[in-house]
Structure formats: C-alpha cells, structure tokens
C-alpha cells in the first residue's frame, strides 16, 4: 500500500525544467518535448519551444530524417518580449532605485520625504501648502520610491525580488516595467482619491500588488498550482486591512490594475499583441488621470 501511495504521489508531481532543475513545470517544448519553465519558454506559432530548439542546437527528430526546421530569428517570451542574458535586470534596477532613495531619506531627513511623498492637500511645516491638489502631480510617482522605515523597505524589496524576478522573465523587460509603473500610479491615484487629503502615504506596495495580480494571471495561464500564490496574496490582503497605518487604497488600486494589465498582456492574441498589451496600459493611465482630476476638483 505504501509503495502504491508513493507511486501515486510521483505520478502527480510535475517534472523539472531541463535548464533549471529546481523549478517544476507543466509545460513542454513542442519540438523536443522537454519540460520548460516560464524563463525558458519561447513563444511559437503553436505552444512554446525551448531556447535550444529556437537556436537550432537541440537534436529534434524529424519524420524521415529530414533536416530540422530553421531557428527563429529572435527568441520571445510568453508575452512576446525578447529573451535577455539577465532576465531580472529591471527588477535589480528597481530595487537599487528604492534603496538609493531610502538612503537619501535617511541622509537628508524629513524635508526630503515631505517634499516627495504622496499627500493630497495639507500645510506642511517649513514648506507651506503642499499636495497633488496644488499641482504637485509628481508625488503620484515619487511616492512609489520612498519608504517609511527599515522594515518597510526590507519587506517590500524582498517581495519585489521574489515576485518580480520570475514575472520579468515571463513578460520581458518593457512589458514588466510598464506593468510596474502603471500599477504603482493606479495605487497612488486611488489613495489620492479615497484617503484623507492631509494623510501622507509612501512605498512601493501599490506597484508590488500589481505584480501580485499579474502573477495570479500567469500562474492560471500556465496551469500551475494556484494555492501558493493565492495564499500569499490573501495573507498580504489581511495584513493590509488589519495593520493600522497601511494605505489599503494603494494596495487595492495596484492589485486591480495588475490583474487587468496582466490579463491583457498574457492573453493577448499574437496578431494584435502589442496593441492590446500597451493599449491596456494606456487605458489604465487614462483612468489614473480621471481619478486624479476628479479628486483635484473636489479639493480645490
């Protein structure tokens, strides 16, 4: 009985990617049938191929001993982006920028934070009347790179590394960066709309929740086990609403934007891929602009 149960468990387990043995995957190359993870997937006319088959370096049996099909000109990710030598480069740059701005906060002090954090409309000591409603729209963006303390930035940067790295490999650099920035702006806009105008907020959490949303869509698309990412998302949402002082508006705004943009990027048909992918980003920015203008009109 024990041997039968063990065999059943082995049958249910997923194979490991042939290039990354530590990553289980349910997707196989359509040419050589080797298991491939999201980082190794190259978009093909039908399904996905491994990098070796795309480069023409893998031995792929052909009917009748025919010559293997010619390699594609440029490997593509799941969403149509280019494969790169460092699939986590943008994530590393974003983490670096957040650390640099946090260091400036510690060196310069509260004056720097007060000038660039998200605030709707308030009288700030030594600065006077400040806020997005007073024309300081840059705060919607700059607040995404500021943090309120050491634990705040450590938690956010660990989340960005764990979630952002694999997602960048699947989307490609340009699409990943667009998703990150637009999700962060959506979080800032909803926070500006719903939070008290004199309550400041800051942090990369809105953008990171956008990455969470897109990751849910990606995991669903690849038919992976949804439970780990859903449990992690639920835990973060519970923390969002139970811990005092967290700008839940930014988290929800980023999450909704990430779900929508992620779905458009991952499910866009090949013949209209870029139009739909970047069109979704543009539509989200239009919504951000509308929310910002509505709130500004309310406060002024």
| Active-site annotation, residues | 205, 251
197: its two tokens: 């105008």
* Contact (CB, 8 A) for 208 and 160: yes
Identify any residues that bridge with 24 across adjacent strands, giving them in sequence order. 16
* Contact (CB, 8 A) for 155 and 173: no
User: What separation in angstroms does the CA of 263 have from each of 98, 126, 228?
Assistant: 27, 45, 19
User: What separation in angstroms does the CA of 206 have from each of 1, 190, 193?
Assistant: 50, 10, 14
275 burial level (CB within 10 Å; 0-12, 13-18, 19+): exposed
* CA atoms within a 13 Å half-sphere pointing along the CA-CB vector of 83: 19
User: What separation in angstroms does the CA of 258 have from each of 170, 237, 272?
Assistant: 15, 15, 20
Please give the Cα distance from 100 to 251 (Å, whole number): 23
Closest of 270, 252, 165, 157 to residue 213, by C-alpha: 252
Nearest-5° Cα angle at 143, 137 to 146: 155
State the CB neighbour count (10 A cutoff) for residue 150. 10
């Amino acid at each position: 009985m024990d041997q039968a149960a063990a065999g059943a468990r082995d049958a249910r387990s997923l194979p490991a990617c042939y290039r990354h043995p530590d990553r289980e995957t349910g997707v196989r190359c359509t040419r050589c049938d080797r298991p491939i993870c999201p980082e190794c997937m190259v978009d093909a006319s039908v399904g996905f191929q491994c990098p070796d088959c795309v480069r023409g370096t893998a031995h792929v049996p052909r009917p009748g001993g025919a010559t293997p099909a010619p390699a594609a000109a440029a490997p593509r990710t799941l969403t149509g982006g280019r494969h790169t030598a460092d699939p986590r480069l943008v994530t590393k740059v974003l983490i670096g920028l957040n650390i640099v701005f946090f260091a400036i906060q510690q060196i310069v002090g509260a004056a720097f934070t007060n000038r660039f954090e998200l605030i709707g409309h308030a009288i700030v000591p030594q600065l006077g009347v400040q806020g997005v409603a007073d024309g300081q729209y840059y705060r919607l963006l700059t607040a995404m790179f500021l943090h309120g303390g050491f634990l705040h930035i450590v938690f956010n940067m660990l989340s960005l590394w764990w979630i952002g790295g694999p997602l960048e490999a699947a989307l490609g650099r340009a699409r990943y960066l667009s998703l990150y920035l637009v999700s962060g702006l959506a979080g800032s806009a909803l926070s500006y709309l719903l939070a008290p105008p004199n309550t400041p907020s800051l942090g990369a959490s809105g953008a990171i929740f956008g990455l969470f949303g897109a990751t849910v869509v990606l995991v669903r698309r690849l038919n992976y086990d949804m439970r780990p990412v859903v449990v992690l998302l639920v835990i973060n949402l519970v923390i969002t609403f139970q811990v005092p002082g967290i700008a839940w508006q930014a988290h929800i705004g980023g999450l909704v934007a990430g779900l929508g943009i992620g779905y458009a990027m991952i499910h866009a048909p090949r013949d209209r891929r870029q139009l739909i992918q970047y069109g979704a980003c543009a539509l989200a920015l239009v919504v951000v602009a509308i929310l910002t203008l509505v709130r500004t009109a309310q406060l002024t």
